[in-house]
Structure 1
């Protein structure tokens, strides 16, 4: 008789997988992908190391899943800023860029892992998808701004790609583990000089005017 998995077994497997993902996410958030160890994740999740490989074919597959989850959270936050901020499209886009930068600086280890940490090819593929997701959001906002007349005519797709590159590159230094502790605490009053400098550069390039 063929083995038939019961609903209880499926639930146990799902719960184990979720514990593995949760613990892996926490490990990456605390120390990055390179320092996250399968053995540490297994102990934290309360499972055997082999159990992890029953749910994920390799460490790279597990880390790609963690990257997808982490980046989707960040993309969702930026999308929320674009849809809930008042004013014209330029204001909405500025708020979204601020959200990007401030969240990165508040969670520097995870942000470094998502933006610049050397990773395996499968995770790098997710990083490219992550950048494209941001670019699509920015492109839509730029198109809206051109229709509203608050953003000058330009190639929205190309500009959106430039914005993603500019803000990510400008955060590499401050987020680098070698710079840990060198950056001041992020302010909550929109007056952080680093964030404001990044926004001035991006918005001046986008609109052609000083803000």
Structure 2
């Protein structure tokens, strides 16, 4: 008779998988992907290391899954900011502020998502992450052009420039050598990033 997995067994497997993901996420939040060692994750999740590889083909697959989950949270927050009241330029400004302030409040995770050296599978997710932001910004820029609050321009190219500018502006302050200095004193940095991005987008000095 063929083995048939019971509902109880399926539930236990799903719970173990979720614990592995949650503990990996915790490790990345605390010390980046470099600190997420399989032995440590297994200990935190209270599973054998072999159990991890029954749920994920490789460490890279596990990290890619955690990267996707982390970026989905950030993209959701930016999307919420883009849906706030106001014209397109005001909504873009709110989204840029949301992105920057959240990054500075969680510098280790933000560094991991933006710039930490990672495996190729995770790097693929990073590229998808940047594209998702560019898609959101492009849509809003097009709305702004239609409204007249943003000058006529190549919306796709401008959205890509916005993503690059904000990411590169944050890399230094978020790097491991600077994270201990991340406090409310970074508010001027957020303002400077937004001023640069919005002046470049609208051509209006802010």
TM-score bin, normalised by smaller chain: over 0.9
Contact 2:75–2:133 at 8 Å: present in 1 too? yes
Q: What residue ranges of structure 2 are gaps of 5+ in the alignment?
A: none
Deviation at 1:100, TM superposition (A): 0.4
SS where residue 34 of structure 1 aligns?
Answer: helix
1-structure distance, mates of 2:50, 2:146:
55
Partner of 2:10: 10
Partner of 1:196: 191
Contact 2:93–2:194 at 8 Å: present in 1 too? yes
Partner of 1:145: 144
Deviation at 1:192, TM superposition (A): 1.3
Partner of 1:45: 45
2-structure distance, mates of 1:148, 1:97:
20
SS where residue 41 of structure 1 aligns?
Answer: helix
Partner of 2:162: 163
Partner of 1:86: 85
Partner of 1:178: 177
Cα RMSD after superposing both structures:
1.0
Partner of 1:20: 20
SS where residue 27 of structure 1 aligns?
Answer: helix
| Matched pairs, number | 206
Hey, which of these two has a bigger chunk of helix by percent? 2
2-structure distance, mates of 1:46, 1:130:
31
2-structure distance, mates of 1:106, 1:94:
18
Partner deviation per Cα, 1:34-78 (whole Å, 9 max, x = no partner) = 121111110100101100000000000000000000001000100
TM-score in terms of structure 1 length: 0.96
Partner of 2:57: 57
Note the 1:58-77 alignment, pairs <5 A.
58-77=58-77
TM-score in terms of structure 2 length: 0.98
Partner deviation per Cα, 1:125-165 (whole Å, 9 max, x = no partner) = 00000000000000000000000000000000000000000
- Runs of 4+ in structure 1 off by over 4 angstroms are none
SS where residue 33 of structure 2 aligns?
Answer: coil
Partner of 1:96: 95
